[in-house]
């Protein structure tokens, strides 16, 4: 079913009326729902998902399987294995001074939740958070991006096929739709997208004091020192950067390299591109397109801006407007005021910036907003620790990139400008639940002896309590 903007309030009310039915489901019932979703992604709709993403931006099938379908299935497996434990009422210690009571933490559902997702990994970033929301026992309205219309309308079909709308519904639409949804008093909003829109979401949420998870973006730096095996490192960076044509929130945004190995990096880069995508990446079936004309033009403008500032294209640089194609591009000698060094690139262009000392590299990173991901390539423990100790970031991977995203035992998310809150595994479950504290008193406790009137012997008990308990 498709929804018009004036239907959102009634959809919200239906979910609100149903929230205790959904919230009171046990772990078996929730796992059953998750398995239904898993089956749909793994079998019923697998080919449709591949087709939709190819139609949207020529995303290669293997990348769809690996980066859209697999992470959600893996999340479902992980959550299904652990949910029984996470939902157990957890007993915690009660201080001696409160003798006669017992204490617990209950992970109760937040209630009615809104998930707003971006276009770059539309299936993964819509259904991934949904897994955590279902695990938490919530009802959910999903709003995917309008920029991948084929995938969004397929996801609407999948959701309508699997769930009743008073439990989970998917609303398609543009910014106007998102804004109309943000007017409603959701109990939690999970937003993935840009820092600019993240601020709009947080402002809207503040009206109802709705809690938020903001999975945002920004510039993710990569530092390479002179101790590395350069071919191995470049291979990993080219893989991480040009997957999804660079449209990945945790892709290496730019490289900071020891100036003594700059030329080795450039030579190795050219070889790796040929190995991965042949002489002409435009004809490679392993390389995506830019999602739409708007983003293609944004990237083109950044390239023009850098050319006007005497930067040097070391490799790539070809474009084809009719296809929204941009060749994997390496660019050096960028001045720090260029758009490519100021804004998140979110495309297949990699700036290479040299440094003389690690202190200089770290100083540069710290002059910017806290990144979502920071990558370190080094064989020297001392250098790795120096960078870790003197920078801040949402996530870090040493001697590789992107992999930190795949371990569900690790929290995933940014810090300040790159995000608020975490996703994945237990951390994602916590975002969609309220840690409700419960204290049960069984017998008369010490505190009951301290009611007014406040006599001298009661004061003595308080003095002793402060001293000894």
Which residues are catalytically annotated?
215, 249
- CB-CB contact of 207 with 406 (8 Å): no
Q: Smallest gap, in angstroms, from Cβ of residue 343 to ligand NAD?
A: 10
CB 418 within 8 A of CB 369: yes
Q: 186, 208 in Cβ contact below 8 A? A: yes
**441: CB partners within 8 A, 6+ apart:** 100, 101
Shortest distance (Å) from residue 417 CB to ligand NAD: 11
Helix (H) or strand (E) holding 330: strand 329-332
445 contacts 100 by C-beta, under 8 angstroms: yes
Query: What secondary structure does DSSP assign to 358-387, as a single string?
Result: HHHHHHHHHTSPPPSEEEEE-S-HHHHHHH
Shortest distance in whole angstroms from residue 25 CB to ligand NAD: 28
Shorter beta-carbon distance to ligand NAD: residue 69 or 125: 125
Closest residue to ligand NAD, based on beta-carbon distance: 217
Q: Which is nearer to ligand NAD, 315 or 423 (CB)?
A: 423
Q: What DSSP character marks residue 291?
A: S
Of 117 and 138, the one with the shorter C-beta distance to ligand NAD is: 117
Q: Show contacts of 64-68: CB within 8 Å, 24+ apart.
A: 64/123, 67/121, 67/124, 67/243, 67/244, 68/121, 68/122, 68/123, 68/124
Nearer to ligand NAD among residue 68 and residue 215 (C-beta): 215
CB of 294 to ligand NAD, least distance (A): 9
Q: How far is the CB of 217 from ligand NAD (least distance, A)?
A: 2
Is 92 or 175 the residue whose CB approaches ligand NAD more closely? 175
Q: Summarize as ranges the residues that interact with ligand NAD (CB under 6 A).
A: 116-120, 125, 143, 145-146, 174-175, 178-179, 192-194, 197, 200, 215-217, 249, 344, 346, 372, 414, 419
- Distance, in Å, from the CA atom of 243 to the CA atom of 233, rounded to the nearest integer, reads 16
């Amino acid at each position: 079913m498709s929804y018009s903007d004036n239907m959102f309030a009634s959809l919200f009310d239906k979910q609100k009326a149903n929230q205790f039915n959904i919230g009171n489901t046990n772990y078996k019932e929730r796992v059953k729902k998750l398995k239904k979703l898993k089956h749909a992604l793994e079998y019923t709709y697998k080919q449709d998902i591949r087709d939709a993403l190819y139609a949207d931006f020529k995303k290669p099938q293997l990348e769809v399987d690996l980066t859209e379908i697999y992470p959600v299935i893996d999340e479902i497996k992980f959550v299904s294995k652990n949910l029984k434990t996470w939902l157990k009422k957890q007993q915690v210690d009660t201080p001696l001074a409160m003798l006669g009571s017992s204490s617990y933490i209950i992970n109760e559902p937040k209630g009615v939740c809104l998930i707003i997702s971006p276009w770059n990994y539309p299936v993964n970033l819509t259904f991934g958070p949904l897994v955590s929301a279902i695990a938490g026992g919530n009802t959910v309205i999903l709003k995917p991006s309008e920029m991948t219309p084929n995938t969004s309308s397929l996801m609407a079909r999948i959701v309508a096929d699997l769930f009743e709308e008073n439990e989970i519904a998917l609303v398609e639409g543009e910014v106007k739709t998102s804004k109309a949804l943000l007017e409603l008093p959701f109990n939690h909003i999970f937003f993935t997208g840009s820092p600019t829109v993240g601020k709009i979401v947080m402002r809207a949420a503040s009206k109802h004091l709705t809690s938020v998870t903001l999975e945002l973006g920004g510039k993710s730096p990569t530092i390479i020192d002179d101790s590395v095996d350069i071919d191995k490192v470049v291979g990993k960076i080219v893989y991480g950067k040009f997957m999804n044509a660079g449209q990945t929130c945790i892709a290496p945004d730019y490289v900071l390299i020891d100036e003594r190995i700059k030329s080795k990096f450039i030579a190795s880069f050219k070889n790796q591109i040929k190995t991965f995508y042949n002489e002409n990446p435009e004809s490679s079936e392993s390389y995506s397109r830019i999602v739409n004309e708007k983003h293609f033009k944004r990237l083109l403008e950044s390239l023009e801006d850098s050319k006007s500032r005497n930067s040097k294209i070391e490799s790539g640089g070809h474009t084809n407007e009719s296809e929204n194609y941009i060749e994997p591009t390496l660019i050096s000698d960028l001045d720090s005021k260029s758009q490519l060094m100021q804004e998140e690139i979110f495309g297949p262009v990699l700036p290479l910036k040299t440094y003389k000392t690690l202190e200089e590299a770290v100083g540069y990173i710290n002059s910017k907003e806290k990144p979502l991901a920071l990558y370190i390539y080094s064989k020297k423990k001392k250098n790795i620790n120096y960078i870790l100790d003197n920078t801040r970031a949402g996530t870090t991977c040493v001697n590789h990139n992107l992999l930190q995203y795949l371990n569900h035992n690790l929290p995933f998310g940014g810090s300040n400008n790159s995000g608020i809150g975490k996703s994945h595994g237990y951390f994602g479950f916590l975002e969609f639940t309220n840690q409700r504290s419960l204290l049960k008193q069984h017998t008369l406790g010490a505190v009951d002896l301290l009611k007014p009137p406040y006599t001298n012997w009661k004061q003595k008990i308080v003095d002793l309590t402060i001293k000894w308990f």
